[in-house]
């Protein structure tokens, strides 16, 4: 009987840990949007305001002060075959879907809004 109780407790403990791991995996799939920009960039500031207004969770990195995140952004652009020769901020990584402002902020925000809507559905 003593062994049975120990086995039940061990099983319960393992099940609890497995559930926590499952929940962590579930949350990591709901990664936040990442915005790479600069605090001296009006389009970046407008994009941040747009996302806050839409109550979208995101992480913002100012690449002027965070060179590690700047390199991370450049690698993501290269992996997605996006030229860095004509780089325009902000750059957005929406759960692996990397895109950037191509100069027309209103068009960029429309694309961003469509991607957010797609994620919500």
- Its domain, for residue 14, covers 1-29
Say if residue 63 is in the same domain as residue 90. Answer: yes
- Give the H or E element holding residue 62: strand 58-62
Q: What are the structure tokens assigned to 26, written together?
A: 């579930």
Q: Where are the beta strands (DSSP E) in 1-121?
A: 33-37, 58-62, 91-94, 97-100
Distance between CA atoms of residues 52 and 59, nearest Å: 11
Say if residue 5 is in the same domain as residue 51. Answer: no
Say if residue 52 is in the same domain as residue 99. Answer: yes
Say if residue 94 is in the same domain as residue 80. Answer: yes
User: pTM for the full model?
Assistant: 0.73
> Could you tell me the CATH number of the domain that includes residue 88?
3.40.30.10
Say if residue 52 is in the same domain as residue 111. Answer: yes
How many structural domains are present in the chain?
2
Among the residue ranges 5-9, 67-71, 77-81, 100-104, the one predicted with the least confidence is 5-9
Whether the per-residue pLDDT at 105 is higher than 50: the answer is: yes
Per-residue confidence (pLDDT) for residue 10, from 0 to 100: 45
Say if residue 43 is in the same domain as residue 61. Answer: yes
pLDDT tens by residue, 65-95: 999 999 999 999 999 999 989 889 999 999 9
């Amino acid at each position: 009987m003593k062994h049975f109780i120990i086995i039940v407790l061990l099983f319960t403990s393992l099940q609890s840990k497995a559930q926590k791991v499952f929940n962590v995996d579930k949350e990591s799939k709901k990664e936040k949007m990442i915005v790479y920009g600069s605090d001296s960039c009006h389009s970046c500031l407008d994009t941040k305001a747009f996302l806050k207004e839409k109550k979208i969770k995101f992480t913002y990195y100012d690449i002027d002060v965070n060179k590690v995140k700047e390199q991370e952004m450049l690698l993501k652009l290269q992996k997605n075959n996006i030229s860095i020769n004509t780089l325009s901020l902000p750059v957005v990584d929406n759960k692996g879907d990397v895109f950037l402002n191509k100069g027309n902020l209103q068009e960029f925000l429309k694309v961003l809004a469509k991607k957010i809507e797609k994620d919500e559905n």
